[in-house]
Amino acid sequence: MTTDTYVLVHGAWHTGDTFESTAAHLREQGHTVHCPTLVGNRPQEDYRTINLQDSIDSLVQYLEQHDLHQVRLLGHSYGGMLISGAADRVAHRLQRLIYLNAFVPLPGESLADMTPPHYRELFQSLAEANQGAIMLPYPIWRENFINDADATLAQRAFDQLHPQPYRCLTDALALNQPTATLMLGKSYINCRQDTALPHSLPWHPRLSERLGLFRYVEMDGSHEVLFTNPTALAQAIVIAGRD
């Protein structure tokens, strides 16, 4: 059986722990899986000073400190910004990039640039009210992010979330080249019921096709399928990550 190394990079408001259920299914198949919690998503941080580059730096440092090579590097949602930034610097450590309903930035673009105007306005108002930190209101989370869960699971998942530094979502990402030009395998996992972005401004194909040549993997589930169906997500990751 082929065994691979995966690093699963969480999205905004999440920690590495939120990927552990998915990671357990991958480990059962013999794979090595890392689920780091990166700068910007750790307790007791100064949300006013942390920026996008700080979070990317912490991912690069994690790969280097653990001396990881031939990594299948997955980013969920905001995590697409982080894996794009890391791949721009340490592509030699990577085997494939996997975007899970994730943002695929062009050079000089921020996450907010890829969202609808009402999201940008919401982010700004939340940050102004909470010293530079953003926390999604529960009704938005419930209906748009975890619409395939019952009320009990949705609340339990929400209780695991943390505030997110505003600048991580609004800083432009400086890339030396578009991610599509990197000599790496690329995959995009698209959950059919994901409404975190409106279907009129979709994840796929609007963002996925920015990867150039890529493998497309489709599955049922919401934006938070890591909570609602980690077993199916693990299987989709294996399909996305294999050579």
Count of structural domains, the chain: 1
pLDDT, tens digit (0-9, with 9 covering 90-100), for 24-45: 999 999 999 999 999 999 988 9
pLDDT, tens digit (0-9, with 9 covering 90-100), for 86-123: 999 999 999 999 999 999 999 999 999 999 999 999 99
Predicted structure pTM score:
0.98
Q: How far apart, in Å, are the Cα atoms of 137 and each of 88, 145, 234?
A: 33, 11, 28
Neighbours of 113 (CB within 10 A): 15
Place of tokens 């450590």: 93
Instruction: Tell me: pLDDT of 23 over 90.
Output: yes
- Nearest Cα residue to 13 out of 76, 98, 94: 76
Q: For residues 119 and 113, give the distance between their C-alpha atoms in angstroms, rounded to a whole number.
A: 10
Instruction: Tell me: pLDDT of 1 over 90.
Output: no
Instruction: Kindly state the percentage of the chain with pLDDT values over 70.
Output: 100
For the chain, how big is the Rg over CA atoms in Å?
A: 16
Instruction: Tell me: pLDDT of 2 over 90.
Output: no
Instruction: Tell me: pLDDT of 153 over 80.
Output: yes
Q: According to the model, what pLDDT value does residue 43 have?
A: 86
**Cβ 166 vs Cβ 47: under 8 Å:** yes
- Start-to-end CA span in the chain (Å): 13
> Residue 85 sits in which domain range?
5-241
Phi, psi of 155 (to 5 degrees): -70, -40
**Cβ 73 vs Cβ 9: under 8 Å:** yes
Q: Domain containing 33 — which CATH number?
A: 3.40.50.1820
